[in-house]
Amino acid sequence: MTAEDADGPDHTAAHNDLSGIVNGPVVQAGTIHGGITFRVDAPPPVGANVRPDEIPPLTVRLINRSEGLARLDGWLAPDTDDDNGGDEDDRASVGFAALHGPPGVGKTALVSRWSERGRKRFPDGQIYVDFANLRGGTAGADVSEAARCCLRSLGIDDAYIPATFAERIQRLRSRSAGRRLLVFLDNVSQPGQAAALLPKGKGSFLVVAGGSGVGELAADGAKLMAVEPLDRDSALEVLADRCGAERVAADPASAERLVELCDGLPVALHVVAARLAAKPRLTLAALAAELTDEPRRLAGMSLGKERSVAAAFDLAYRELDPEPARLYRLMGWHPGATFDAGVAAAAADLDPGRTADALDALTRASLLEEAPDGRFRFHDLVRLHAGERATEEDGPAERTALVRRVTLHYLALAALADRAVRRDRLRIAELDQWLSDVHDPFVGPGAPRPVDWLESEHRNILGVLRAAAREETLHTEVWQLAEAFTVLFFHHRHLGDWRESLELGAAAAAEAMVPAAEARLRSLLSRPLMDLGEYEAARRELDAAEACAEVSDHLVVRASVQEFSGRYWDRTDPVRAMEAYRKAIDLNTAASEGRGAAIASYFLGCAQDAAKAHREALHTLRGAHDDLVAREDLRMAARAQVAIGIAHGHLKETDAAVRALSEAIQILHKRKATHYEAQALVALADIQESSQGDPRQVRDHLERALEIYEAGGSPLAEELRKRLTGGEPAAE
């Protein structure tokens, strides 16, 4: 924990005027996203009794997949709770299936229908992870993030999700034991470790869907199913269901030709049917003739086997008016997996009304899917086609312009979200003047919580960072977005994503030759690296950060780097840690940065206490506490008071320890800082127990801490549960 993540939202803190002036965006921010409605997902619930319901519903009727549904039924584990006696069933206690087939064949629809039909089979919930949203990071990061998603879906608070993949898998097995779950991993392209996500509860089921590569999961025990394109009769039924049985019956030969040209892929059939439904005078014969000629015109496109299917998309595309057609092309280049109306408006530089009309046209043409949360997404084949059209018709300059517009859009919103969480955080980017004319969606009645919005959009923001980092003209925007984006990761520990965003930002700051920004981002990078156990890499980043900070001569940046270094040395060398914290205090004091000095003093006091200099620690911690109270930073002041209580406990000054901890617990409870409240409750129980205090009070404190840990899914809950049942006296 550093000054940057030492506290939660604080809308009353003073503005920080200490950041250095650097080159910022040179467009009017108000033209980026003003007036657009922002969509925010509700944060997932936490607690032991959470029952996820995440598999997307069907939006069209599923036709003739009875054989696939029956095979999945047959692979279910026996529906019995009898583990002893009787004949043993040869099937595993947990089902595991891998579905493979070409894009657009309907794998997701098949599993969605099966999940709807079998809700009673999985009373503890259904989890959905779309790997298409996780791609782009380092090797192995996707499945580790998928494990995090599963744990979050099972009600574990982000604060208690382990950092490493191995720890996450262990926690997933523990959390899923005794539960009957369906887990659906969709769009898996590298299935190597997918089997590790098998839930442990008897009667549970893991379904993996992807391309032919998922076949390797057979070695891990998966039952394989090839999802084939629809046969002629089933494809005709889809066509009739979407555009009218009468039209199909009136010209069956042309209908059969359309089905043949669509290769039996539902995604192509839906596009063809949407065009027929939109144009009542268009005959099946005329459309079939157009579709027959189209692949020759598309010969130069790189859609591979799907070129004939792309013909259906191209015919629908050519029917669009110019504005929806341009939006279609540009969003094919959009670096995120999903987007809302605000992103689309920024990408195309359109006003909200015209953007809404264009999105509506694309949705009616079945070229775009709208999710229940108001976001939009392309099917993978459609996105590929849209990008091909953009490459042919718009060129690389327009792609760079789109990436810049979208980057600025997210930079504005991320910067506003960052400021809404804590205004007096250290920042290098000087964006206040740029943001002064921008509508702030995080203020006012009904405004979304900024961290919730960042969580909803974080994979899209990371995709934008990756795309912008490839542009030679966007180095400044990249490091500024990475700096603002990092506020999310103080609250939600997406360690792989945090690491990647900071690496991109630090490299961009180096290219932009802004040493203060590079120092800032490299010192921040030490945090996820340490949480991932990569201590040598963290040390290298801190050394580089210190060198950059010295070059910048930015006092607060130099202080921040020293504070991060102190946190590094806390592990192994308390003397060096205390030295670093003292340097941070001196530099913050010289820069008149009182809050930074107070927080560095808090960490210094904790280090002194750990080094058994308890009396000296008390003096330091009291000064930090008083400074934080004076700044109305009550949550951080309460944490300092917890440390004061612990130091008194080390000195056997029980009354003072109990008094300090009790007062801190009340403040932390009021400010809903439950994680720190639980830590303080356990510390208070320890001190009272060691001093022969009232056992009923000890038990009350431990039970309250257990309640907090259980609600958040902390592994510490089991430790406390054992302690409470291991001879502790029960309350009368």
- At position 467, the amino acid (one-letter code) is A
**80: region left, alpha or beta (phi > 0 left; psi from -120 to 50 alpha):** beta
Nearest C-alpha neighbor of 452 from the set 40, 29, 24? 40
In whole angstroms, give the CA distance from residue 114 to residue 184: 11
Give the containing element (helix H, strand E) for 109. Answer: helix 107-117
Q: How far is CA 641 from the centre of its chain?
A: 33
Got the DSSP string for 610-628? HTT-HHHHHHHHHHHHHHH
Q: How far is CA 265 from CA 107, 305, 365, 724, in A?
A: 11, 12, 16, 59
Q: Where are the domains of the chain?
A: 66-81+89-226, 232-396, 616-732
Which residue is associated with the tokens 């002629």? 232
Q: Which two tokens stand for residue 135?
A: 């791609």
In whole angstroms, give the CA distance from residue 295 to residue 641: 72
Q: How far is CA 173 from CA 169, 353, 400, 713, 721, in A?
A: 6, 49, 45, 13, 19
| Burial degree of 43 (CB within 10 A; 0-12, 13-18, 19+) | middle
Buried b (16+ CB within 10 A) or exposed e, 570-580: beeebeebbbb
CATH 1.20.120 fits 232-396, yes or no: no
In whole angstroms, give the CA distance from residue 379 to residue 584: 51
In whole angstroms, give the CA distance from residue 154 to residue 148: 10
Classified as helix, coil or strand, 265 is coil
SS3 content of the chain, % helix, strand, coil (to 5): 60, 5, 35
Q: Which two tokens stand for residue 424?
A: 């007096």
Got the DSSP string for 74-87? HTSPPS----SSSP
- CB contact at 8 A, 465 and 501: yes
In whole angstroms, give the CA distance from residue 410 to residue 454: 10
Q: 10 Å Cβ neighbour count for 158? A: 19
- Class level of CATH domain 66-81+89-226: alpha beta
HSE-up of residue 667 (Cα within 13 Å, Cβ side) = 19
**443: region left, alpha or beta (phi > 0 left; psi from -120 to 50 alpha):** beta
Mean pLDDT by 10 residues, the chain (732 residues): 45 31 39 50 78 85 79 76 46 84 85 90 93 66 86 90 89 92 91 88 93 87 89 86 86 88 82 83 86 56 50 85 96 92 92 93 90 84 89 92 95 94 90 89 87 92 96 96 96 89 98 97 96 94 97 95 97 94 97 94 96 96 96 93 97 96 95 92 94 91 93 87 69 34
Helix (DSSP H) and strand (DSSP E) numbers for the chain: 31, 7
Residues 6+ apart with CB under 8 A from 555: 18, 587, 588, 590, 591, 593
The topology (CATH level 3) of 616-732 is: 1.25.40
- CB contact at 8 A, 561 and 583: no
Alpha-carbon dihedral sign for residues 415, 418, 424, 429: negative
Residues 6+ apart with CB under 8 A from 518: 479, 506, 509, 510, 544, 545, 548
Q: 10 Å Cβ neighbour count for 61? A: 11
For residue 376, which phi and psi values (nearest 5 degrees)?
Answer: -120, 155
In whole angstroms, give the CA distance from residue 675 to residue 10: 18
Q: How far is CA 451 from the centre of its chain?
A: 11
For residue 178, which phi and psi values (nearest 5 degrees)?
Answer: 80, 5
Classified as helix, coil or strand, 182 is strand
In whole angstroms, give the CA distance from residue 403 to residue 333: 8
- CB contact at 8 A, 633 and 595: yes
- At position 39, the amino acid (one-letter code) is R
In whole angstroms, give the CA distance from residue 314 to residue 298: 9
For residue 192, which phi and psi values (nearest 5 degrees)?
Answer: -40, -50
Q: Which two tokens stand for residue 218?
A: 């057979």
Classified as helix, coil or strand, 674 is helix
∠ CA(196), CA(198), CA(204), 5° rounding? 175
Nearest C-alpha neighbor of 324 from the set 293, 281, 278? 278
Residues 6+ apart with CB under 8 A from 316: 271, 272, 274, 275, 365, 366, 367
| Sequence-separated contacts (24+) of 29-32 with Cβ below 8 Å | 29/408, 29/412, 29/434, 29/435, 29/437, 29/438, 30/437, 30/438, 30/439, 31/349, 32/346, 32/405, 32/408, 32/409, 32/412, 32/438
Residues in the chain: 732
**728: region left, alpha or beta (phi > 0 left; psi from -120 to 50 alpha):** beta
In whole angstroms, give the CA distance from residue 211 to residue 171: 29
∠ CA(720), CA(181), CA(44), 5° rounding? 65
